[in-house]
Amino acid sequence: MQRNDSTAQADGVDIHGPDDAPSVVFVHGAVFTRSMWAPQRDALASDRRIIAPDLPGHGSRAAQSFEFERAVDLVESVIKDYATEECLLVGLSLGGYVATEYANRHPDRIDGLVLSGSSANPVDGMELLTRAAGGIARLATRSDRIERFVEDRAAKWVRERPLSTAQATEITEAGFYPRTFGTAGPQLAGRDFRDALAAYPGPTLILNGERDYVMRRGEDEHAAAAPQGSIEVIDDAGHVCTLHRPTAYTDALREFMRQRVLA
C-alpha cells in the first residue's frame, strides 16, 4: 500500500491514517463529540483511514439543532467526500441509529456495519419509554445548573476511564452536549430500526457492553434481523463501551474486520 498519511479536519470531520487505506467511519453518541473515538483512532490509524464527524448539535456543529434526517445526510456526505472504496461504518448509541438508517438507504456504499448501544428498537413499549426519557432530559437540561452538573459528571467519568492523558483531555475539551439527548430521543421514537437493519445485506456486528442492560434486552432480535448479523459482548463494560474498555472494543473491531470485512 502506498502511504500518504493525513491528519486533517475538514468541516467538523477528523481524518487520520493513510489516504488510500480502507476507511472506518465512526459516528458518535449523544452528549459526546467525534473526539470520543480518540482511542480507536489512535489504535487503528496506522493502517486504516479513520474518519469521524461531529453530528448536528454537538462539538463544531453545536449551533445546529439536531435533526435525524440531517444527521443521516451528514454521514452520507462524509462517506461520499472522504471515505475510500472499502468502508466500515461504526456507530454508538444515537450514532448507531443514524448508522443503521444510512446502511438501509445506501447498502452498496459500505462493506460492514458495527452497532453499539443501539439494539433497543424504539417502537411499541420502547417508543413510549424513548419519548419519556427524551422529555425528561429536555426538561432537566433547561436548567443551566443541571446542564453544568451533567457536563461535570461526564468529564469526571471520562477522566476515570483507561485512556491516555492526551485522549482524556481531547474528549473533555471538546465538551459535552446533554441537551441534544432530549432533542434526539423523540426523533428516534416510533422508527422501526430493526426493519431498517433487515434491509442491509452486509456483515453486521452487534457490539454491546455487558452491563448495557437496556440495549442488551434487544440484541438477539436485532442480530437475528440482520441477514449477516452476529453478536459480541465487551465484558465489564456499560453503555459507552468504546471508552469503558477501549482496548477490548478496538480488538473486537479488528477481529470483525479480519474475519468479515476490510481484511
Is 83 exposed, middle or buried, given 0-12, 13-18 or 19+ CB atoms closer than 10 A?
A: buried
Which of the 8 DSSP states describes residue 90? E
Strand order in the sheet with 23-27: 5-9, 13-18, 49-53, 23-27, 87-92, 112-116, 203-209, 228-234
| Cell of residue 116, nine digits | 453499539
Given a contact cutoff of 8 angstroms between Cβ atoms, the answer to whether 111 and 262 are in contact is yes
CA 86, CA 88: separation in Å to the nearest integer?
7
d(CA 111, CA 84) in angstroms, rounded, equals 11
Nine-digit cell at 25?
A: 467511519
pLDDT per residue of the chain (263 residues) written in tens, 0 to 9: 344 455 656 689 999 999 999 999 999 999 999 999 999 999 999 999 999 999 999 999 999 999 999 999 999 999 999 999 999 999 999 999 999 999 999 999 999 999 999 999 988 877 766 766 655 555 556 667 777 888 999 999 999 999 999 999 999 999 999 888 778 888 898 899 999 999 999 999 999 999 999 999 999 999 999 999 999 999 999 999 999 999 999 999 999 999 988 76
Q: How far apart are CA 72 and CA 67, in angstroms?
A: 9
Cβ atoms of 39 and 33 closer than 8 Å: no
List of domains in the chain: 5-121+193-259 (3.40.50.1820)
